[in-house]
Every structure is written in C-alpha cells, then in structure tokens.
Amino acid sequence: MKIDRTDLLRGTLDLLILQALKLEPRHGLGVARRVEQLTHGAFRVTPGSLFPALHRLEQKGWLKSEWGASDTNRKAKYYQLTAVGRRQLKTESEKWGRISLAIGRALRPAEDA
Amino acid sequence: MIARLRHALRNVLCRSEVERELADEIDAHVELLVEEKIARGVPAAEAYRTTQLEVGRLVALKEDVRDVRVGAWFDVFRQDVRFGLRWMRRSPLVTLALIATLAIVIGSAVTVFSITDAWLFRPLAFPNAGRLVVAFAATSTHPDEPAVWMPYRSYVAFKESARSFTSVSAAAFQPATWRTASGAKSIVGMRVTPEFFSTLGTPPMRGRVLDASDAATGSGAVVLSYGLWQRGLGGEDVLGHRVTLNDAPCTVVGIMPADFDVRLLDQKEGAAFWTVLPTGERGYDRGGIGPVAIVGRLKDGIGIAAAQDEIMTVMRQNESAYARNFNQPDATGATFVATLNSLQADNTRTVRSTLLTVLAATVCLLLIGSINVGVLLLGRGLERRGEVALRQALGAGRGRLVRQFVTESLVLSLCGGVAGVGLAVVATRLFLAWKPLGTLPGNAVQIDGRSLAVSAVLLVVTTLVAGLVPAVRMSAATPGGDLRIGERGSVATPAVQAQRAMLVAQVAVSTVLLVCTALLAKTFVQLRTERLGFEPNAMTVATLVLPSRTYGSSAARNTFFEQFARELRALPGVTAVAAATTPPLVGGPPVPVNVTAVDEMSAPRISAQDVTSDFFSTLRVPLVAGRVFDGRDVSTAMPAVVLNEKAATQLFGNPSSAVGQRVRLDDDPWRQVVGVVGNVKTTFFNTLAWRTEPMVYRPAPQAFARLAPMATSFTLWVHIRSVRPLSMAQLTAAAMSVSPTAAVTDVERAREQVSAATRQPTFRMSLLLWFCGISLLLAAIGVYGLVTQAVNERLKEIAVRIALGAERRDLVLGFIRGAVVSGAIGLTIGLGLTMTLARMLESLLYGARAGDAMSLTLAAAILLVVIALAAWLPAMRATRVDAMEVLRA
C-alpha cells in the first residue's frame, strides 16, 4: 500500500513515523525502512511524503534532529523523539487502538452477512 | 509552542541555512538509497537511475517540505512582494501615479480626520469631560440654536432643584482691557460662580482656584490662564501680585494649566482669566436676570435629553413666580426655551458641519482613489493575462493568485500610506498656521496614535478595494481562453466587465462629490453677491473698549468718541467716522418694542443698537422717509429713534406712516420715530443666510448707556470711511492721544468682515472644489486607461475595419459611446445617491436647494464631458494608425 496524502492517512503516517523512532534515532531512509518493516511491507513511504512529514513533526516539537554519520559513514540527518513526541506517541497509539477496535467491530457483522 | 516559535524565527531569519540543510538532507537520502541498492548487487548506473525515478523531482519535493514549515506564508508573501516590486519597476510612471493617488487620498483623509478628531471626537481636556454640559436659552422657533444667555435666577433654581447634575455653576463673558506698556489690550475672560472650577474638575497649575470666600468678600482675586500668564506676564512668579483689569486692581491667586481651555458659545479661543461673580450684585441676586451660561456636570447615567427636559420644567416653574418672565410669548409667538448641550458640542457649533462635510468628502475621495487604483491594477492585470493563465495552467491555485494580487495592492497601499501620513503631518502643520476656520480646537491637532490607527484602517480599505476585485476577476478567468486571447482579437472577459463596473462605481461617487460641490458653490455665489444694504468697500472697522470705571456714563462715552473721531478725521484719506454698539452684520440685542400706551409683554422683540449721527451717511445706508439723526438729537432733546424699513412695516404698516409715531423700547421713556432707513443685512449665529431683521436705532447722545448689569467695559465699533485701510498703529495712536485707558482691539476692513461671515461656506466650497478637481482627474485617468487598453486590444480589428473602409469618425464615436454609457450609468446611480445624501446638506445651503436642477445638470455635464474627452484622446490616436502596418505586424 502506498501512502498518499489524505488526512486520515497523514495521521497514520505520523503515528508510524513516531513508532519507527521509538527505540532509536534514525535518518530519513532508516525511518522509511523501519516503517516498511513494522508494517511487514504493507506501507511503502515515498520521499515526497516522508520529508514533509518529518519536517512537520520536527516543527511541532515532537521530533528533534541532529547530523550524524550513517553505518556507511556518510553524513545524514538523524531524527529522534522528544519527550513531547513520546507522550504524543502514547496518546496517539491508544487513540488508534480504540478507533481500529471500533471500526473492526463495526465491520464484522457486515462480513458475516 | 516555543518550539514552533523558534522554528518560525529560524525559517525566516536563517533562511539560507535552513535551505542548505534541506538540500544536504535530501542529497544524503539519495546517496543512502543508491548505496543500499549497490549493496544489494545492483550495478551503480542502474542504481542511480532507479533512485532518481523513485525520489522524483527534487524541486517539487523541496517545495512540499517548504510548504509545511512554520511561517511558510511569509515566504510566499516575500516572493509575492518581490514579484510585485518587479512589476512596479517595469512601469515606474504608472506605479508613481498609483502611489501618488493613494498618498493624496490617504493623506487628505488622515489630515481631515486628525483635525476633526481634535474638535469633535477626542474629549475635551477635563476630567470625565463627556459629562460636562452648558445651558443657554433659545427661542422656540430655533430650539437648537442658543440665542440668549440664561437669566441668573435660572442658575439659582437649577442649583436648588435640578436633580440631573452633581454640580451647577454659572459663567459670563468678561471683556477686559489689559494695561501694558505699549497701550491697553483687550482680552476676554469670564466671571464665574465659585463652583465653576470644581464643576470642570481641573486643579490649578499654581496657587488656588476661586471659591465661596472670594464671592462673599469680593476680594478681587483673579485666576489667569496659562496663555495670559505666559504672554502677558512672561511666565514669571506672579502669585499674590497685583494686575490691572478694566482699570481695577486684582490679585493673582492661581494659574490654570495650558490645556485648561474653556470656551462658551463658540468662542474662538479659551478664556484668558477668571474672576468671581460677586453674589448679590444687581442682576445677580435670587431674582436677577443677569445673563449667564450655566455650566453643569451631569450625574452618571443621566442623558442630556433627560436633563434638558428637567431644566425646562424647572425654568418654567421658576419663571412663573415673576411678573415679567421668560414664559410669555412675544408677538411672533416665540417663547424662550432652555437648551442643553455638551460643552464640546457647544464649543464646536460653528465648525461641526464644515468638518463633517469635509470628512465625508474625503471619504468619497478615498473611495474614488482606491477604485481608480483598482481599475489601473486590473488594467495592468489584463496585460498580465498571459502570465496568470500560464501560472494557472502550471497548477497555481486560485487562492495563490488572489494572494499575489492583494499583496501587490498592499505594497502599493503601504507606499501610498506612508507617503500619505507624511503629507498629513505637513498638512496639519499648514492647517495650524493658516487657521482656515478662523479658530483652533482646544485639543492639540496632531498626527498621533489615533490618526495612525485610522491610516491603518484606510490602508486595509484601499488594499481591499484596489486589490481584491481585480484579483477575484482575474483568477476567475479560464486559462485556456486567456492564453488564446494573447493571439487573437478580444472579447469582454470578466476582467473587462469588472473594470467597467469599477468605472461605474467611480463615476457614481464622483457625481455625489460634484453635485455637493456645485450646491456649495452656488451657495457661495449667492452669499457673496447678495446686496447687503450698506457699502462695505473702503471702510475700516475698529473695535474700541472703554473701561466703565473711567467711562461710566453716556456723556463720558460720547465725549470720548467725539474727541476720538476728531483725531481720526485728521488722518489723511478719512472722510467719515461713526460708531455703533454692534459690529457690522450683527443685529444687536433684541428689546421689546411697544407702540401702545399699555405695556405688553407680548410686544415684538426688535434688535436695537445705538449709533452716532453720522452712522447712516458713513455706511451709506439710504434714507427712506423722515430724517436721520443730527445735531438736534442731543441728550436733553425729545428722545428719538430711527427704524429700518422692516421694523417700520412691521410696527406701522409702511415706512412713511411710521414717521412721527411713538415707540417705547423696553422700559425706556417714549421715543419719537424721526426717520426710516433701508434694511441692512445681518447674520444669525450659525444659520447660514443673510437675514433682513427689523431694527431700531437710538441716537448715541440719548443712549450709549444701556449695559448688561455689571458690565465692566463698554465696547464700540468705530466705522471709518477711508480710501486707504487704516492700521492698528494709527488707531491706537489716536486712542492714546485721547485717553491711555481706551483699548483698540481689532482693526479690520469691513469687506473682510463680510468675508469672515462667509468664511465657513467659503472654506467648505474651496476645499470641495479641490477634491472635485482630483476626483475628475482620477475619473479621466480611469477612462483614459480603460479606453487605451480596449483600443490596444482591438488594434487589429480597427485596422481591418479601416482597411475595409470604415469611417474613422464612427470608430472614435464607438469608443466614446462605450465610455459615456458606463459614465451615464454611474451618473444615474450617483444622482440617486445624491438625492438622499444632499438632504443632509440642506442646512449648509443658501439660495440653493438639495434638488437644485442647475447644480445637478452642471455636475452631470462636467462629468460626461470629462469622460468623453478622456475617451476621445486614445481612441483618436488609435484610429490614426496605419492600417496596413498593423495588419502586417
């Protein structure tokens, strides 16, 4: 599934990016790869949606960035969660859990029919 | 929040650094992707190619990132501004014209606002000044126009039983002579009751104010205004010092601050000093009818209307206790009524209508100016149709295009606004120096925060009017159509229609301005050409103030004047000298005139003045019947009186039957009518008209005595017929040679006094004439621009038609017809507007009515001619083109 820019999915992308950074700082490509990995390849994040999202989250104060060296010793910009970002991840994922549960419940009878 | 702010600042301030980082980040991303692919075993060239496909266009990617940045709008704004500036530089003359237009309209609006604000909107400089009110008496025929002072006993009654006020005080003018080394000067102060200062609420700057003990002892204490203290006494420490007012010694007890500016009844400047009105003087006791203005402070929550109702009732009840009272109607059925105004309204009565008229006119001008800028911007927008269409085709959103136009109009308005405020600063200074209204407000006239706030609002208005319409109309155009238009002929696009609509609006507003100006101009001409009944040319009028202490009797005053007149007649060029107790163009105080033996309270009240025997010959007032005053009318002779035609007709049916009859003025002895003279025109306070009033004249030797109770000086207006105007120095020297205490205060040519009486209408008209000129110029520019553009677009069509043998004249007429039709629509709308608006002007008109056919026709004709001319020029030029050349091009 490719992520496009509808509002619902933008929220999803933000959530996925936050989740991807939960454990350690990553650079852009790292984030993209981690999202693919987390969703078992269901989400493929293109640079066209990745970078605007990263910058938006950074400007909101949920992420912070610094320049570091990649595994191949290349200079890259690394993003990591801020305290606010971590809190946001928690509330967002709880919310998402509730929504997905509700939608899941709502759709089940339709499937039965 | 703080994070966002920090990012916003960084985005704006360190833009290049942020951009460099973005580029680095994306480059790194590309490199990492490539490395990843190579690591998977993809050949390097292939890896680069696929990565590039994957990442897409880097420019678009960066643009997307920029759009999510905090403060991204600012970036866009900066771009728009830069773009707008580039357009402005490309056609500097047009840009300059646009900025100049906006500067003039914003500048004049800010100037007029600042002046009006100081007079009408900003409260007077007293604590809680909005609660201060002043009461006068008016006649029931003109209930809103104070005509008479209140009787002192009304002050006593209000103080005792009116519940609308927290404090009530009374004040009266006190003209006085002020002795200086270079001769006596005349100043105007006030006599006030002890509560006067506490009612106004301003504490003294030095010393103390007047109080009840001053009233009881008649201590001769005087409080000086800051102005008199500075000018008259050099600002030295004068507390406790003695000064001489009206030849009587007074002790300075206090000095009021500079902004303590008290005026009553449209005085042109604040009072110079205050003394106490001693209780119990004649006219100023419980039942006294000495004239005063009643100054009060309203209780919170009490409106002026309610308070006026209350004092009317109180006054009516109080008057009914006296045998001779102000409740009875005179012969014309008019009674006296109390009128209450806010102190500020009282101080601004003469200038209010002028200021509001001019303010309204500047608003019209502002609208015309910004519409005109809109028309021109739209015109330039049309040249840019190709650009706009291209940008739209490339995916620029409509909002983005609207923003671009509004930004450009904002840049123009900002430039115009800044220049306009600069103009306003100069213009307000000029206003202060020039004093076109003959008086300045108590509040300072300045460009302050309020004026700047108003200019900001005006800026928004001009930006929106001038920018939004073109923006919406331009961006509504379909890109395909406009790209094609670039090549082919022309069609009436929405943009062209919008431009026409704006022209119609501009003409409509111009019509309002033009018609109002025409009406005011007609008023002016009527006022200036009216026959006044005397000859104001080659006549000098001097005001002479005699202190009552030295000149306490009629005989003393007559003797002084005879000596003074002898001095004046000795001056070269002087042919005749006369004196009267009222200035030219003023009727004089009305007195009841009885013709029957029984005193009637309802006797007609007729203006009376005292004149010397040469008065009528000096002013060249014609004799109608009988004789004028001469040497026979000495103080011991049979009391005589001269009537004017109007009074003679009113009292006795016709002038000739009046001669020989007897009349009784007030409670004077009977006087015999010895003659009837022609009517002399007068003015009545603020009603703008020459009036023909009934008038009675008393001979000076048998008069020159009637004084308001307690007046401390006697004022004469000396009329001198002289080929050359006399100077203040000549008159002062003549007065000094007779007496050192007499003060010559004003010297003016009678012609100038006539001009001064029509000063407000003249000012209104001349300012509006200027505005009209500007609005006509703007309308002409608008039409010219519109037609030029239409012509340029249709150049090929014109060439084809000429080649096919069309008459040039018909082509030109076609263009003119188009413009005139738009103009005529605007004119019709404008005339409709004027019909409703001009009614508000009625009170400013004389000899012209709001629906005056001549003014309407004149305004319409001028506008249509200007429009036709402005259309004719470019059309004419276009049809002169060489058809073949245009077609070949």
Average pLDDT in chain A: 82
Does the beta carbon of A37 lie under 8 angstroms from any beta carbon of chain B?
A: no
By CA distance, what is B59's nearest residue in A? A48
- In angstroms, the CA B827 to CA B514 distance is 11
* Residue A7, pLDDT above cutoff 80: no
How many other CB atoms are found less than 10 A from the CB of residue B242? 11
Does the beta carbon of A48 lie under 8 angstroms from any beta carbon of chain B?
A: yes
B528-554 residue pLDDT tens: 888 889 999 999 999 888 888 888 888
Residues of A in contact with B31 (CB under 8 A): 74
Give me the DSSP letters along B505-520. HHHHHHHHHHHHHHHH
pLDDT the model gives residue A14 = 86
- Contact (CB<8Å) B26/A29: no
User: Would you call B666 exposed, middle or buried from its count of C-beta atoms within 10 A (0-12, 13-18, 19+)?
Assistant: middle
* Residue B195, pLDDT above cutoff 70: yes
* Distance to chain B for A6, nearest Cα, Å: 15
* Distance to chain A for B46, nearest Cα, Å: 19
Reduced 3-state DSSP string for B584-621: CCCCCCEEEEECCCCCCCCCCEEEEEEECCCHHHHHCC
Partner residue facing A51 (CB), from B31, B35, B65: B65
* Cα B287 to Cα B306, B504, B744, distances in angstroms: 26, 66, 36
- In angstroms, the CA A66 to CA B763 distance is 71
Does the beta carbon of A91 lie under 8 angstroms from any beta carbon of chain B?
A: no
pLDDT the model gives residue B779 = 84
pLDDT the model gives residue B739 = 85
Does the beta carbon of A36 lie under 8 angstroms from any beta carbon of chain B?
A: no
Q: Tokens standing for B485?
A: 């238009």
Output the domain CATH number for residue A28: 1.10.10.10
β pairing state of B743-749 and B713-722: unpaired
Q: Which of B455-469, B486-500, B818-832 is the least confident region?
A: B486-500
- In angstroms, the CA B571 to CA B375 distance is 65
Q: Is A55 contained in some domain?
A: yes
Residues of A in contact with B67 (CB under 8 A): 52
- Contact (CB<8Å) B4/A60: yes
Residues of A in contact with B34 (CB under 8 A): none
Q: Tokens standing for B402?
A: 């609207």
Nearest CA to B11 out of B65, B58, B83, B60 is that of: B65
Q: Is A47 contained in some domain?
A: yes
Share of chain B above pLDDT 90, in %: 25
- In angstroms, the CA B446 to CA B448 distance is 6
pLDDT the model gives residue B490 = 45
Residues of B in contact with A76 (CB under 8 A): 25, 28-29, 32
Length in residues, chain A: 113
Question: pLDDT-derived band of residue B485, with 50, 70 and 90 as boundaries?
Answer: very low
- Contact (CB<8Å) A51/B25: yes
Phi/psi region, residue B631 (left: phi>0; alpha: psi -120 to 50; beta: rest), is alpha
Residues of A in contact with B24 (CB under 8 A): 75, 77
Does the beta carbon of A60 lie under 8 angstroms from any beta carbon of chain B?
A: yes
* Distance to chain B for A21, nearest Cα, Å: 17
pLDDT the model gives residue B488 = 42
Of residues B790 and A112, the one with the higher pLDDT is B790
Nearest CA to B147 out of B347, B344, B335 is that of: B335
- Contact (CB<8Å) B61/A51: yes
Q: Are A10 and A52 in contact (CB under 8 A)?
A: no
Under DSSP, the state recorded for B48 is H
Does the beta carbon of A56 lie under 8 angstroms from any beta carbon of chain B?
A: yes
- In angstroms, the CA B544 to CA B744 distance is 5
Report for B15-24, B295-304, B826-835: range of highest mean pLDDT: B295-304
- In angstroms, the CA B672 to CA B107 distance is 62
pLDDT the model gives residue A5 = 42
What does the pLDDT average to over B504-533? 87
Q: Tokens standing for B267?
A: 């005085």
pLDDT the model gives residue B489 = 42
Structural domain range at position A105: 7-112
Residues of A in contact with B70 (CB under 8 A): 59
Q: Which residues pair with B608 in a beta bridge?
A: B696
* Distance to chain A for B6, nearest Cα, Å: 9
Partner residue facing B28 (CB), from A53, A55, A76: A76
What does the pLDDT average to over B173-202? 84
Q: What is the ipTM, given to two decimal places?
A: 0.82
Partner residue facing B32 (CB), from A55, A60, A76: A76
Residues of B in contact with A53 (CB under 8 A): 68
Average pLDDT in chain B: 84
* Distance to chain B for A29, nearest Cα, Å: 6
β pairing state of B605-611 and B695-699: parallel
pLDDT the model gives residue A3 = 46
By CA distance, what is B18's nearest residue in A? A55
pLDDT the model gives residue B182 = 66
Q: Is A34 contained in some domain?
A: yes
What does the pLDDT average to over B337-362? 88
Q: Is A38 contained in some domain?
A: yes
What does the pLDDT average to over A57-86? 87
- In angstroms, the CA B737 to CA B506 distance is 65
pLDDT the model gives residue A60 = 85
- Contact (CB<8Å) B35/A60: no
Half-sphere exposure of B682 (CA within 13 A, CB side): 19
- In angstroms, the CA B868 to CA B876 distance is 12
B623-650 residue pLDDT tens: 999 999 988 898 888 899 999 999 999 8
User: How many structural domains comprise chain A?
Assistant: 1
- Contact (CB<8Å) B54/A47: yes
Host H or E run for residue A107: helix A83-112
Dihedral sign of CA atoms B122, B126, B128, B131 in order:
negative
Q: Tokens standing for B377?
A: 């911007």
* Cα B68 to Cα A30, B11, B73, distances in angstroms: 21, 11, 10
- Contact (CB<8Å) B61/A48: yes
Under DSSP, the state recorded for B120 is I
Q: Are B719 and B618 in contact (CB under 8 A)?
A: yes
Rounded to an integer, what is the distance from CA B291 to the centroid of its chain?
A: 30
Partner residue facing B32 (CB), from A29, A56, A59: A29
Q: Is A98 contained in some domain?
A: yes
pLDDT the model gives residue B379 = 73
- In angstroms, the CA B85 to CA B411 distance is 8
Question: pLDDT-derived band of residue B179, with 50, 70 and 90 as boundaries?
Answer: confident
Phi/psi region, residue B675 (left: phi>0; alpha: psi -120 to 50; beta: rest), is beta
Rounded to an integer, what is the distance from CA B250 to the centroid of its chain?
A: 39
- In angstroms, the CA B651 to CA B434 distance is 46
Grouping H, G, I as helix, E, B as strand and the rest as coil, residue B351 is: helix
Does the beta carbon of A58 lie under 8 angstroms from any beta carbon of chain B?
A: yes
- Contact (CB<8Å) B33/A75: no
Question: pLDDT-derived band of residue B237, with 50, 70 and 90 as boundaries?
Answer: confident
Nearest CA to B267 out of B192, B180, B187 is that of: B187
* Distance to chain B for A60, nearest Cα, Å: 6
Under DSSP, the state recorded for B130 is G
By CA distance, what is A61's nearest residue in B? B3
pLDDT the model gives residue B211 = 86
pLDDT the model gives residue B173 = 85
* Residue B217, pLDDT above cutoff 60: yes
Q: What are phi and psi of B341, to 5 degrees?
A: -130, 155
- Contact (CB<8Å) B32/A75: no
Residues of A in contact with B54 (CB under 8 A): 46-47
Q: Which of B458-462, B526-530, B845-849 is the least confident region?
A: B845-849
Question: pLDDT-derived band of residue B279, with 50, 70 and 90 as boundaries?
Answer: confident
* Distance to chain A for B407, nearest Cα, Å: 26
- Farthest CA pair distance, chain A: 57
What does the pLDDT average to over B93-99? 84
How many other CB atoms are found less than 10 A from the CB of residue B410? 23
* Distance to chain B for A72, nearest Cα, Å: 8
pLDDT the model gives residue A92 = 87
Residues of B in contact with A29 (CB under 8 A): 29, 32-33, 36
Host H or E run for residue B248: strand B248-255
Residues of B with CB under 8 A from a CB of A: 2-4, 7, 21, 24-26, 28-29, 31-33, 35-36, 54-56, 60-61, 64-65, 67-70
Query: How many CB pairs lie under 8 A apart between chains A and B?
Result: 69
B58-68 helix and B15-39 helix, angle to the nearest 10 degrees: 130
Give me the DSSP letters along B627-695. ----TT--TTS--EEEEEHHHHHHHHSSHHHHTT-EEEETTSPPEEEEEEE----EEETTEEEEE---E
- In angstroms, the CA B641 to CA B664 distance is 10
pLDDT the model gives residue B576 = 93
Q: Is A32 contained in some domain?
A: yes
Of residues B391 and B90, the one with the higher pLDDT is B90
B646-701 residue pLDDT tens: 999 988 988 888 999 999 887 788 999 999 999 999 876 555 678 888 999 999 89
Report for A11-20, B16-25, B110-119: range of highest mean pLDDT: B110-119
Grouping H, G, I as helix, E, B as strand and the rest as coil, residue B45 is: helix
Grouping H, G, I as helix, E, B as strand and the rest as coil, residue B772 is: helix
* Distance to chain A for B348, nearest Cα, Å: 57
Q: Is A54 contained in some domain?
A: yes
Of residues B55 and B714, the one with the higher pLDDT is B714
pLDDT the model gives residue B448 = 87
Nearest CA to B509 out of B762, B765, B832 is that of: B832
Nearest CA to B658 out of B624, B608, B629 is that of: B624
pLDDT the model gives residue B819 = 86
Partner residue facing A47 (CB), from B3, B24, B29: B29
Under DSSP, the state recorded for B117 is I
Residues of B in contact with A88 (CB under 8 A): none
- In angstroms, the CA B561 to CA B612 distance is 9
Does the beta carbon of A73 lie under 8 angstroms from any beta carbon of chain B?
A: no
* Distance to chain A for B472, nearest Cα, Å: 28
- Contact (CB<8Å) B56/A46: yes
Q: Tokens standing for B145?
A: 């126009």
Q: Is A89 contained in some domain?
A: yes
Host H or E run for residue B390: helix B385-393
- In angstroms, the CA B642 to CA B663 distance is 10
Question: pLDDT-derived band of residue A4, with 50, 70 and 90 as boundaries?
Answer: very low
What does the pLDDT average to over A24-41? 88
Residues of A in contact with B65 (CB under 8 A): 51-52, 55
- Contact (CB<8Å) B4/A61: yes
pTM for the full predicted model: 0.74
With a CB cutoff of 8 Å and minimum separation 6, the contacts of B729 are none
Host H or E run for residue B427: helix B398-434
Q: Are B294 and B135 in contact (CB under 8 A)?
A: yes
* Distance to chain A for B52, nearest Cα, Å: 11
- Contact (CB<8Å) A29/B67: no
pLDDT the model gives residue B126 = 92
Does the beta carbon of A70 lie under 8 angstroms from any beta carbon of chain B?
A: yes
